[in-house]
Every structure is written in C-alpha cells, then in structure tokens.
C-alpha cells in the first residue's frame, strides 16, 4: 500500500518537474541577426521606411500612464511612413513591478518591453539588471551608433551620470547597453514649471491676512494651523475645515510641507550633514523631532487623522470641496485649481534651516525600453524608436495628423486646430481617442520622448501655447510662486539618489526591507501614545537597519560620493 | 465465509484487470477526464516550479539549467530578521481563522435549520451569502470607511452617545484581530454554512421523531442528533483546512495592513509577494511558499491519522 502511495505521488511529481523544468525562459540563442542592416529605404518608399513588419511591445506600466488604444488613422500613417505595424499591450498587474517580474520570468516577451525607471535606484532596476546580465536582452550599442537621435546618447556629457553609468553604460557591461533610458532633455539644467507642494485656500489666507510665502518652518505651519482651527472656516458643504489635509493623491508621508523635518529626500532619508558625515535620518535627532511634531499635530486635530493612509478618492474629494484648508501636496497643473483658489504655500526651509533654493537636475530621466534577445532583427526596432524620437515622429505622436489635427505655420511648426483644444477642454476622454499626446494620449512617449526641446522643435514649450498665448495650464501658480526668480538662483546637480546602490550592496535586500520598515515605523510612531513608545518603535527600526549593515552601506555611499562618476545628490531636486 | 476465487480469475494480471475496469466504465472516466486534465495543468505541472526553491534561477538557463544552491534559501529565511515574526503572525491569524471561526458557520447552519418560515429563511440566507461574492478590496474598503476616525459610522455613533469618536481603529494594533476576525466572519460565514446545511438536511427525520417521542427538547435534539450526525463533515472540512495553516489569506491581510498594525499583520503570504514579485527573488519566494505547503501537507496527514484512530472519520 505504502509503495502504491509512493508511486502515485512520485510519478506526477517527476513528470511535472520535467515538464516545468524544461522551460527555458531566457533562451540562450542569439537573436537571428544582430548586425546592423542597411539604412537605405527601397526606391518606391519614403526615406523613413524601415521594414514591412509588425512590432509588438509589452508595457509594464499602469493604465493611468499608458494605453494600448492607438488611433487607427495614426497607426495607418506610421505604417505608410515606416512600414511598421505597431501594437502594444499593457501588462495588467497589481503593481507595475509585479507585472515586470512575472513577465520577465515567463520568458515569453514580444519584440520590445517598456517599463518605469526614474533612476537606477528604482525597484525595477535589479530585476532588469539580472535579466540583462543573464542574456535576456539584446546589446543595443551597435544599433544606437547607427541612429540619428539616439546616437546622441553615445556623445560625451549628453546623458546625466545616473543614466550613463548607472542605467545604460554600466562599467560591468564594457560598453554594451541593454536598456534605453527615456525622457532626456536635449539641453541640460532646464527647470520644470510644475509648482508642487502644499497649497492653502486663498480665502482663508486672505481672511487671516497671511502671506503664504512667509510660511517657511514647521513652527510657523503649526501657528497657521492653530489660527485656521480658531477661525471656524467651513467647506463647500458647510462643514468645518480640517487645517491640514492629506495630499491630493491620497495619504502618505509628504516631503515638501515638512521639508525642515526631512533628513534628505522623503523616502530616501539619507543626507550628508554640515560635518560631511553621511547619516540616515534615524541616526539623527531629526527623526524624534518629527515624530513629536506629528504627534502634537494629530493630538490637537490640526492634521487629518488619516493624513498618511487615506485613500485617493476621499483625499481628492476633500480638496475639491475645500474641506482641507491646506492641501498637503498638489500641483499647479490640476484642472480644478486653474483659478488659483488654492495658493502655493511656502517653500519651506531645509533641515539645516537654510532657506529654499531651487535645485534642478542636469537632466532628468524616466521610463526605459529593452529588446529581448529573442527578437528578430532588433535593429529595426531601434530604427523605429529613432523615427519616433525624430522631429517628424514626435510631431506625429504629439500633434496628430496634419490637416485633421493641426496645420503648419510659415516656419513649418505645427499649430493645433482650435476644435481639438475645445474638445480636450470639454471632453478629455473623447479627445484622447484622437490618439496623440497633445490630446491626452501618451502612447508615443515610450519610444519618442527623448532628446526633448519643444521650443526648438515646434516653436512652443507646451502643446497649444501658440494658440492660447502661453496662458496655459499652471501659469497663475507659476507667477504667484515667483518661479522666474527662483530659477534665476537655481543650482544644477547631476547625481545618483542615495538608495541607488542597494542592488550592488551584499545585504541590499535586507536593507531595502529595513528602509521600508522605517517608513512604516515613522507613521506608527506618529500614532503612538507617548514619546517613549515612539522612541521604542524607532529603536526597533534602527536595530533592523543595523542588522542589515546600514553602517556598511553609508560607508559605500561615502566612497561613491567621492567618485565624480557616482556623485550622490542628497537633496531632492525641486 | 471465505471468498471463492476461481483459478482463472486469479491468473488474470492486475494490469489487464485495470484496463478491463476502465473499459467497462469508460463513459464515467471520460466524464472525469476534464477534471483530471484541469488538475494536471493547473495544480501538478506548476509543482515542477518548486525546483526553483533549490536553484539559483537564471533567466537564460531555465529552471533545470540553473545551478543548485541546496537549502540556501531556507537557511536565509530562518536566519532573516523577520522570520520569527512572520511565522508567529501567520500561525496566529490562520489559527484564529481555523479554530476560532470553526463553530460559527455550524451555529449559523443550525439556526437556519430551525427557521420555520420559508420566506424568512430564503431571505436571510441570501443576505448572508451575499458578502461571499464581494472581493476583499470592497469589503476592506467598507471596513475602512465604517471605522474611519471622526467620520466613520462607528465613531459617529460613539460621538453621538457622548464618547470619543476619534479612535483610529485601523491604525491601532489593539483592534487588529477584532477587525480581522469580524470582517472574515461577515464575509465567509454565510457561504461556509451551506455545506453544513446540506449535511443537516441529510440527517434522517426518523431520529428526530424518535427523540421527540422520548421527550427531547430542541437543544437536546441538536446536541444528541444533529451535531453527531454532521460531525464527520466537520472533521473532514477541518482536516482539509489544516493544509492552509500557514496561509493566512493574502487579500484581506494585505488590505488591512497599516503601519500601526504591521507587526501583527505581516504574514508569509504578504512576504512572498514582496520578495518574489516586488523584488524578483524567485528562488527565495518559492522556498518560503514551498515551506508553507509542506507544513500544511504534513499537518493534513497527521490530523487525518489522528482522526482515523479517534473517530473513524478520515479522508482516506
């Protein structure tokens, strides 16, 4: 009987082990033809012709950011100009990283993949790096050399150092590259015009005779919140307002509104102090100071009780109803505040008490794509990406079709049609169907949004500025916040975030876990009943970090920071 | 009486006997086939992936080609900072769901059985089955709204009654088990009572009639007839559920977890998702998942043996 049982269990196990184990996810076979092919188009085809083929991509991003719905007329135009039948699919997952991890492990990848990658410290990096090291992706360097736009990536000082040495041309790859980082500006040191951070209701600021730009410290914020509480202000429904509400997108730890209580950037919390020593926030008195302040704010009901955890719908509803006198975090492009009934508050000092100074990244980056090693003729994918990043391609995915969506001015720059702008203003969902970025559909950014300089390419900074007279979105907040003055005094930095090196640190996984635990421990400490209890919670978090060799990691950061190729930016760029 | 075995039948090989039996019942086997194929594809073939728990999985080498690492991942897990807490939390939560929850659907089934109005019985059954069809995301969303500080229903009632309506139940660890258990009971009790209802329906009415003649009260009927009659069903279901002792239910706990209760809410299921899918440590996550399965498997076998010895009721 026992033997029979053994057979019954063992046989299916052996068979299934063989079946599943035989799957060769990565497939070591080299791509069919990795040599760059001729760039010349056939005589009867346009100069932009690449090949008569289909290119299919799998996108590991959220459906809020990307779509697989591309306008058929635009697809037909792409086919006409390049011969490419373009199709993408979004990998649906709880989180984009989960989709990427599962997708790569499956080994069943189409012609290209695209994924989030703000910098080399992002959680996607270790996953794609492992795949690259294990031969999952095609070396793109030989093909990039043969392009018009992407070849700039090979020029000295074109790329920011994190993109150059951390993402694309990592020293371990000896000149090869397996991912192309996107969203690189053509010119460096260009400041964005988005004004993000806390905003205060204009009528409340006026009633209290407060200049929002005069609030620079957490103590001043506390006094302001007290005044708001005493003022008995009401929201649109006649209910009392909450002095400080959560961020517009839901509850979480916010950096800008408490920037004088943040040791470095929020969620990094690693900073080089005045004495030159690199420390984690938990090793400094700042952590407890912040905890005590938050405890006080919560106890006195000056903050929303679910400030750190509330869901997006309730947070958004509160902002729209004016239920939060101060919205913890929002930005100037939000449509509901184009009349500026919420004014930007601050900016706040830094943790060392220094007044705000704008910091601009030499060049930012975001998103990346890669070509699996199994893709046939990968050079055609690179050529197609190059077409999308060219001026011609960019106009196609940013302005749509000539005649249907825009006309050309005498300099050859596109002028959007008024009816498109009207449709976008009245029915955003309908305008998206037109299928280009100006109308709210960003599919073209995957391959095309890099080497960006809209003023040089189309004669306007933002889509439609020429028609609306640059009274575009966010302009009022920009003026109120005195953006021009701040840009004039801005410093430009080029560097890595402190957590960028976790994937190469031996106990990086444990330390990542410990850092995540610190983030949660902070919130737990805010809601604890006493200072002693909070201290105990933070001590526990520190113990976990030390067990994961925090000191070793901080030492590594010192080494990295002393190398010009791996300089670290400790302050957030904003 | 000794069975009579002819010399002809004893000479027939067991193999051909099996084929003969299959051939005789071929239509039944054909009906069984889709089910077998289903389990083969979705339950047995994925078992092969367990090899990853012993291998340093490489994309380009596949599971078989990747190098062996022995028990490295198991060692790493048990030496990790969180292992003790994760195992403890998982055992507590699944223990609550297995042992404490066990009588609830049985009691509900007994209550349903005693309702005489058919209309009311159908109505209340429908109401109680409904939560089963809601996803945990919806259930926990509702729970969060009801328990929200200041604005939640419960806090508003407390405030109306003169109490402090600012308790943040979801953030306070003291309320974690209560919220977890009550939401679990609310969602599962109706659906889980169905199988007990079916078992109760199978009890012979003669037994009740005999008890009535003997002057037994309703409670005595339940205690001496209904419960002993459905005991085998209860035991079988309990043994089967032991298999998931180290799986405390990912969806609910993931949604319920806040920084305030994380030291109680971090369980093996959430950990596997974190290291496996969010950090791409395939082998390590497989090892932890495999450990869950093996412990569950051993427990099922042990419980089955004990049950067979003690009560004559067992799975095999």
- Is residue B316 a part of any domain in this protein? no
Q: Which CATH number fits domain A196-361: 3.40.30.10, 3.30.300.30, 3.30.499.10, 3.40.190.10?
A: 3.40.190.10
Contacts of B60 in chain A (CB under 8 A): 24-28, 134-136
Provide mean pLDDT across the span B264-289: 87
Which of B50, B141, B259 faces A523 most closely, judged by CB atoms? B259
Q: Using 50 as the pLDDT threshold, list the residues of chain A that sit under it.
A: 1, 13, 16-39
Q: Please check whether residues B168 and B88 belong to one and the same domain.
A: yes
Q: Any idea which of A10-14, A366-370, B28-32, B267-271 has the lowest mean pLDDT?
A: A10-14
- Do the chains contact at B63 and A21, CB–CB below 8 Å? yes
Please tell me whether residues B50 and B196 are part of one structural domain: no
Using CA atoms, how far residue A363 sits from A177, A256, B236, in Å, is: 19, 21, 64
Q: Is A1 on the interface with B (CB under 8 A)?
A: no
**Whole-number pLDDT of residue B25:** 92
Are the C-beta atoms of B66 and A135 separated by less than 8 Å?
no
Q: Are A58 and A113 in contact (CB under 8 A)?
A: yes
For the stretch B139-190, pLDDT in tens is: 998 998 999 998 899 999 999 999 888 899 999 899 999 999 999 999 999 9
Q: Give the pLDDT confidence of A506-559 residue by residue, as tens digits.
A: 888 889 889 989 999 999 999 998 999 999 999 999 999 999 999 999 999 999
The DSSP output letter for B224 is I
Q: Does B80 sit within 8 Å of A20, measured CB to CB?
A: no
For residue B247, the SS3 value is coil
Inter-chain residue contact A524 with B262, CB threshold 8 Å: yes
The whole-angstrom separation of Cα A308 and Cα A305 is 8
In terms of domains, do B134 and B264 share one?
yes
Q: How far apart are CA A373 and CA A26, in angstroms?
A: 8
Maximal CA-CA distance, chain B: 90
Task: Answer for the pair B108, B189: CB distance below 8 angstroms, yes or no.
Answer: yes
End-to-end alpha carbon distance in chain A: 72
CA A547 to chain centre: 31
Q: Which residues of chain B lie closer than 8 angstroms to A523, CB-CB?
A: 258-260
d(CA A177, CA A171): 10
B30 belongs to a structural domain: yes
Identify which of A24, A522, A523 has the shortest CB distance to residue B65.
A24
The per-residue pLDDT for A40 is 57
Contact A23 B275 (CB under 8 A): no
> Could you tell me if B88 and B211 lie in one domain?
yes
Residues from chain A that touch B170, judged by Cβ atoms under 8 A, are 309
Three-state SS letters, A385-423? HHHHHCHHHHHHHHHCCECCCEEECCCCCEEECHHHHHH
- The CATH architecture one would assign to domain A52-189+365-448 is 3-Layer(aba) Sandwich (3.40)
Name the 3-class secondary structure at A244.
strand
Residue B39 lies in a domain: yes
Q: How many angstroms separate the first and last alpha carbons of chain B? A: 27
pLDDT, tens only, B213-260: 998 898 899 999 999 999 988 888 888 888 777 777 788 998 898 999
ipTM of the complex: 0.73
The reply to whether B48 and B139 lie within a common domain is: no
Give dist(CA A441, CA A423) in Å, integer. Answer: 13
How many domains does the structure of chain B reveal? 2
User: Percent helix, strand, coil in chain A (nearest 5)?
Assistant: 45, 15, 45
pLDDT in tens, B63-102: 889 999 999 999 989 988 888 999 999 989 988 988 899 9
Residues 6+ apart with CB under 8 A from A66: A59, A88, A90, A114, A442, A443, A446
Residue-range domain boundaries for chain A: 52-189+365-448, 196-361, 502-566
The CA distance from B271 to B276, in Å, is 8
Query: Which residues in chain B are closer than 8 Å to A252, comparing Cβ atoms?
Result: none
**CA torsion through residues B198, B202, B208, B211, sign:** negative
Answer yes or no: do B282 and A123 touch at CB < 8 A. no
So what's the pLDDT on residue A33? 41
Asked if residues A436 and A399 have their Cβ atoms less than 8 Å apart, the reply is yes
Distance from CA of B139 to the nearest CA of A (A): 14
- Nearest beta carbon to residue B59 from set A104, A301, A522: A104
Number of A:B CB contacts under 8 A?
135
Which alpha helices (DSSP H) does chain B contain, by range? 7-11, 14-24, 26-39, 62-65, 72-79, 83-95, 103-114, 118-129, 136-147, 153-160, 176-201, 205-213, 218-221, 227-242, 250-256, 262-265, 268-272, 282-311
Contacts of residue A44, defined as CB under 8 A and 6 or more positions apart, other chains included, come to none
pLDDT digits (tens, 9 = 90+) for A152-209: 999 999 999 999 999 999 999 999 999 999 999 999 988 888 899 999 999 999 999 9
Is B265 inside any structural domain?
Answer: yes
pLDDT reported for residue B5: 45
By CA distance, what is B165's nearest residue in A?
A: A305
Of B39, B56, B73, which marks where a domain is finished? B56
Q: Does B11 touch chain A (CB under 8 A)?
A: no
How near does any CA of chain A get to the CA of B277, in Å?
5
Same domain, B186 and B294: yes
Residue B287, pLDDT above cutoff 90: yes
- Residues A302 and A248: their CA atoms lie apart, in Å, by 17
A259 and A350 in contact (C-beta within 8 Å)?
A: yes
Q: Which of A16, A22, A134 comes nearest B44 by C-beta?
A: A16
**pLDDT at residue A251, as a whole number:** 92
Q: DSSP label at A427?
A: -
Residues 512-531 of A with CB under 8 A from B: 512-514, 517, 519-524, 527
Give the nearest partner residue to B277 out of A17, A102, A513, using CB atoms.
A102
In this prediction, residue A41 carries a pLDDT of: 62
pLDDT of residue B161: 93
Is residue B10 domain-shared with residue B100, that is, in the same domain? no
Hey, is the C-beta of B43 within 8 angstroms of any chain A C-beta?
no
Within 10 A of B308 (CB to CB), how many other CB atoms are there?
Answer: 15
Instruction: Quote the CA–CA distance of A438 and A442 in Å, as a whole number.
Output: 8
Domain boundary among B56, B78, B97: B56
- Domain-located, residue B29: yes
Q: Which helix (H) or strand (E) holds A53?
A: strand A53-60
> Do residues A389 and A48 touch, judged by C-beta distance below 8 A?
no
Same domain assignment for residues B187 and B253: yes
Residues B41 and B107 placed together within one structural domain of the fold: no
> Structural domain of residue B44, as residue ranges?
1-56
Name which residue leads in pLDDT, A233 or B301: A233
CB contact under 8 A, B60 and A136: yes
pTM: 0.80
Q: Chain A contact for B229, CB < 8 A?
A: no
What gap in Å lies between CA A466 and CA A471, rounded to an integer? 9
Would you call A492 an interface residue with chain B, using a CB distance cutoff of 8 Å?
no
Residues of B in Cβ contact (< 8 Å) with A131: 59
């Amino acid at each position: 009987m026992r033997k029979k049982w053994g057979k019954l269990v063992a046989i299916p196990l052996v068979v299934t082990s063989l079946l599943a184990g035989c799957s060769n996810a990565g497939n070591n076979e080299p791509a069919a033809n990795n040599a760059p092919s001729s760039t010349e188009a056939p005589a009867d085809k346009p100069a932009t012709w690449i090949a008569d083929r289909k290119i299919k991509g799998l996108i590991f991003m959220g459906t809020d950011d990307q779509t697989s719905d591309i306008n058929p007329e635009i697809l037909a135009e792409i086919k006409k100009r390049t011969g490419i039948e373009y199709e993408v699919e979004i990998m649906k997952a709880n989180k984009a990283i989960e989709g990427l991890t599962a997708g790569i492990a499956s080994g069943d990848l189409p012609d290209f993949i695209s994924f989030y990658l703000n910098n080399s410290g992002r959680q996607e990096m270790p996953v794609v790096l492992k795949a690259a090291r294990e031969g999952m992706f095609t070396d793109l360097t030989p093909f990039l050399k043969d392009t018009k736009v992407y070849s700039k990536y090979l020029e000295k000082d074109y790329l920011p150092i994190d993109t150059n040495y951390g993402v694309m041309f990592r020293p371990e790859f000896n000149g090869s590259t397996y991912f192309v980082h996107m969203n690189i500006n053509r010119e460096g040191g260009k400041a964005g015009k988005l004004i993000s951070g806390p905003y205060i209701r204009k009528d409340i600021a006026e009633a209290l005779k407060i200049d929002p730009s005069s609030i620079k410290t957490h103590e001043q914020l506390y006094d302001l919140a007290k005044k708001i509480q005493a003022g008995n202000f009401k929201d649109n429904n006649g209910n009392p307002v909450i002095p400080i509400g959560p961020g517009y997108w839901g509850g979480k730890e916010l950096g800008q509104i408490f920037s004088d209580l943040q040791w470095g950037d929020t969620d990094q919390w690693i900073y080089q102090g005045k004495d030159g020593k690199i420390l984690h926030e938990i090793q400094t008195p700042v952590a407890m100071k912040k905890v005590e302040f938050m405890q006080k704010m919560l106890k006195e009901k000056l903050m929303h009780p679910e400030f750190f955890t509330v869901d997006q719908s309730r947070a958004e509803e509160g902002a729209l109803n004016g239920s939060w006198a101060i919205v913890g975090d929002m930005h100037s492009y939000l449509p509901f505040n184009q009349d500026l009934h919420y004014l930007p508050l601050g900016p706040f000092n830094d943790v060392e008490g220094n007044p705000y100074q704008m910091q601009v990244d030499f060049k930012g980056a975001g998103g990346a794509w890669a070509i699996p090693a199994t893709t046939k003729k990968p050079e055609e994918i690179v050529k197609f990406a190059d077409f999308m990043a060219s001026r011609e391609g960019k106009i196609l995915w940013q302005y749509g079709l000539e005649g249907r969506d825009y006309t050309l001015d005498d300099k050859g720059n596109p002028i959007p049609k008024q009816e498109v702008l009207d449709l976008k203003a009245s029915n955003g969902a309908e305008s998206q169907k037109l299928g280009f970025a100006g109308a709210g559909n960003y599919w073209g950014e995957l391959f095309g949004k890099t080497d960006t300089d809209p003023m040089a390419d189309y004669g306007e900074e933002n889509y439609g500025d020429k028609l609306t007279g640059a009274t575009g979105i966010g302009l009022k907040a920009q003026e109120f916040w005195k953006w021009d003055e701040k840009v004039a005094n801005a410093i430009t930095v080029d560097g890595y975030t402190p957590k960028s090196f976790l994937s190469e640190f031996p106990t990086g996984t444990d330390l990542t876990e410990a850092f995540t635990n610190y983030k949660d421990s902070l919130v737990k400490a805010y809601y604890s009943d006493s200072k002693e209890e909070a201290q105990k919670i933070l001590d526990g978090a520190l113990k976990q970090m030390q067990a994961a060799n925090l000191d070793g990691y901080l030492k590594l950061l010192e080494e990295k920071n002393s190398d010009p190729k791996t300089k670290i930016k400790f302050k957030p760029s904003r | 009486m000794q069975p009579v075995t002819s010399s002809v039948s004893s000479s027939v090989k067991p193999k051909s006997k099996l084929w003969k039996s299959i051939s005789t019942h071929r239509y039944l086997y054909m009906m069984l086939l889709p089910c077998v194929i289903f389990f083969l594809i979705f339950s047995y073939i994925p078992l092969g992936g367990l090899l990853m728990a012993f291998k340093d999985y490489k994309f380009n080498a596949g599971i078989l080609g990747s190098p062996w690492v022995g028990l490295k991942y198991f060692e790493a897990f048990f030496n990790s900072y969180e292992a003790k807490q994760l195992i403890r939390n998982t055992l507590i939560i699944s223990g609550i769901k297995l042992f404490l929850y066990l009588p609830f659907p049985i009691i509900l089934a007994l209550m349903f059985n005693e309702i005489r109005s058919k209309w009311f019985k159908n109505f209340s059954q429908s109401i109680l089955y409904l939560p089963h069809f809601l996803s945990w995301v919806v259930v926990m969303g509702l729970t969060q709204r009801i328990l929200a500080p200041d604005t939640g229903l419960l806090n508003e009632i407390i405030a109306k009654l003169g109490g402090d309506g600012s308790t943040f139940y979801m953030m306070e660890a003291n309320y974690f088990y209560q919220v977890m258990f009550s939401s679990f009971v609310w969602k599962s009790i109706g659906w889980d009572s169905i199988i007990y209802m079916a078992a109760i329906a199978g009890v012979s009415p003669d037994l009740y009639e005999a008890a009535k003649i003997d002057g037994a009260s309703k409670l005595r009927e339940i205690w001496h007839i209904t419960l002993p009659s459905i005991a085998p069903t209860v035991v079988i279901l309990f043994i089967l559920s032991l298999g998931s002792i180290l799986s405390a239910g990912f969806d609910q706990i993931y949604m319920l977890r806040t920084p305030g209760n994380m030291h109680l809410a971090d369980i093996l299921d959430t950990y596997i998702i974190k290291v496996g899918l969010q950090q791409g440590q395939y082998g390590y996550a497989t090892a932890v998942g495999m450990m869950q399965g093996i412990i569950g498997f051993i427990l099922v076998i042990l419980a089955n043996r004990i049950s067979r010895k003690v009560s004559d009721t067992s799975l095999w």
